[in-house]
Amino acid sequence: MAETRVGNRRVLRGTVVSSAMDKTAVVEVTSVKAHPAYKKRVRSSSRYYAHDENNQCAVGDVVTIAETRPLSRLKRWRLIEIVEKAK
């Protein structure tokens, strides 16, 4: 998915893999990079805990998240928008 910047903060797009916690969604962001020596594309993914104030995310939604100040031990991201709802 894509990474952009708003000022100094990173903005990522990913898929919600868990929304069982209160006001928190786990977002998995997948990136594709070329291997430095062999040039084969390698897919890697990272999971981020994002603050979802209104509990509006569901598993499978495509969302945009942005960096923010630490909100808890693991949460450093907040939900910007839901790009596409799960079917």
Supply 5's token pair.
Answer: 């910047």
- 19-78 pLDDT, tens digit per residue, is 999 999 999 999 999 999 999 999 999 999 999 999 999 999 999 999 999 999 999 999
pTM: 0.88
C-alpha distance across the termini of the chain, in Å: 19
pLDDT over 80 at 3, yes or no = no
CATH number at residue 13: 2.40.50.140
Rounded CA separation 82/71 (Å)? 20
Quote the number of domains for the chain: 1
Amino acid 6: pLDDT = 77
The more confidently predicted of residues 5 and 35 is 35
- Structural domain of 35: 3-84
pLDDT over 70 at 1, yes or no = no
